[in-house]
Amino acid sequence: MQYWLLKTEPRGYSIDDLKRDGCTPWSGVRNYQARNFMRDGMQVGDRVFFYHSNVAEPAIVGLAHVCSEPYPDPTAFDVRSKYYDEKSTRDKPRWFLVDVCFDTKLARPITLKALRADPTLGGLLVLAPHQRLSVMPVEKMHGDRIEAMSHTMHS
């Protein structure tokens, strides 16, 4: 089991959307490093920290998990999709994704500020300056700590 952090802009797709949908294909990732993490690293059951970016208070707002094997991103084949990529074909797909399933929405989000303030979270990728990856791995030690924080956030 591996921990991951998935970034999303809530105006596009939020934790409430995931709660409503239950599961969703994490489509539209068009960055090779992020793709590699999904295609080569993700396994069913991996835990996901669901992060809202580009908002007044960036924060981990929910917990989710990976609920499918990696598979080609169908939006890359769809000419009407804004994620269409003519270089990705069904024979040689370029973009991959996994399905993500809702677990919980945190009663109190773990803000970026709170993550930064925690001395045990040094080296957490999302804290690195100008870290733009929308899919990033989280070390077990850090993930365990964030999970523990999420439990406190419930009370």
Partner DNA sequence: GCCAACGTTGGC
Contact residues for DNA (CB under 7 A)?
7, 9, 31-33, 53-55, 58, 112-113, 129-134
The strand pairing partners of 97, in sequence order, are 71
Instruction: Choose between 24 and 53: whose C-beta lies nearer to DNA.
Output: 53
State the minimum distance, in angstroms, from the CB of residue 32 to DNA. 4
CB of 58 to DNA, least distance (A): 4
HSE-CB for 34 with a 13 A CA cutoff: 19
Q: Which of 99, 104, 102 is nearest to 18 (CA)?
A: 102
Nearer to DNA, 44 or 118 (CB): 118
Q: Which is nearer to DNA, 33 or 43 (CB)?
A: 33
In the bound state with DNA, the residue whose beta carbon lies nearer, of 36 and 43, is 36
Shortest Cβ distance from residue 5 to DNA (Å)? Answer: 10
Q: Residue 31 Cβ, how far from DNA at the closest point, in Å? A: 5
